[in-house]
Structure 1
């Protein structure tokens, strides 16, 4: 079982020190959420809470994950990095492919793109992106970026993008793993058919005992059935050794230690965060 530390909403300047400590403790990697910006008011329904209200606010820090992970990669050697979740359709595929390729080269291929199509309509409105077509735009972007990452010229045309012999440098020396997020039918389809894994939004063990076998069955029936498929599943209940054993038995490959904000509160110092990680490591990483 791989264990990741979620660092979403962490103070930006603390990320390199946290990365070094996570590597020393034996964490698999760091996961960081993102929004380009968060609106002061929103009517959008948050898909991952019972009441549809997001716990996020405009005052939370949302450091750019790609820049943050480049800084973290510079002070570590084995620690991996994954976005959780990056709102892909808000970007242009050429720019995003170039930025990810640069991070992949700087980190020695330690980056995975955890991705989703987004839920926050106000963010899409701010950037003039059609929220109603975000799923199709996401699928198109994954196709374009994978072509660009091969290093050859790409020509492409669809309802969203037109590329005429576009080539990026640098390009990744290995394939960039794509990890689909979300639990809607469209999100699960994307993860299974277009990605290399799935990142859960937070589930109970009971939920996962139905969801994970369904995911694995979908993957087995897909054209990519022979390719590896990872499942990283945060829990909405205490992560005990017994819970880890159940996750492993059902086919989950990784889970997380929850963000410092929710685990120890908004006033936690860097030393508090290190102790929080130490406690997790003593229970589950030894």
Structure 2
């Protein structure tokens, strides 16, 4: 009779003990999950801000090219009007003189816009050449540098940058990041967007829900490395993830997947400095 009473009591103690351990583990996992959600929301906000800056930079370059084309067309129309004035005896010297002044003013502004664009392109090419020359032959295999629409793109492969299946920076990436950080530090008039990208394979890791999380965490790791290890000003940096939704190759092949697993460091001129250059146009003739 005594043993029949003690057995249920022991069973209750075991169940309560297991339940206690399970609740504690659940609380820890819930806390980690909440922290990850907060961090992901912060990264998404920073990414959206960086995307707006990047879109603005591309728009400014396109606007500049449109202004140049418009001014050239205006110059052609003025020249045509002047030719008509010269061929007509009914036009007076005053009108001819005014047209000449307008043509000269238009030519000056065209040259100014061309100079602004050339200055921006020249700075980007110097930046790109300096970085490319600093990379070793092995580093060049994992780093791709190009200029597109006035923006410098530095694409880094994931197998060089991160530990396998992780968002932690690998030791072998240090030398390459140091060279990139020096370029960023030397060109203080530029903002920097770090953009993570993945292939389309689903990920199954603790505290990483999907490729959105992985790409954003990888971008954040690069930002923090540039700030903490190489002294890049954090106010110039933005981290964002694009998950699997910005591929540059076909995900149906291993080669394509490898190209899509990349982190891009996007260097763009600051908006206020760019607008200052455009705003300093030659004065029109009175």
TM-score for the superposition, normalised by structure 1 = 0.26
Q: Which has the higher contact order (CA 8 A, sep 6+)?
A: 2
Q: Is the helix fraction higher in 1 or 2?
A: 2
Structure whose CA Rg is larger: 2
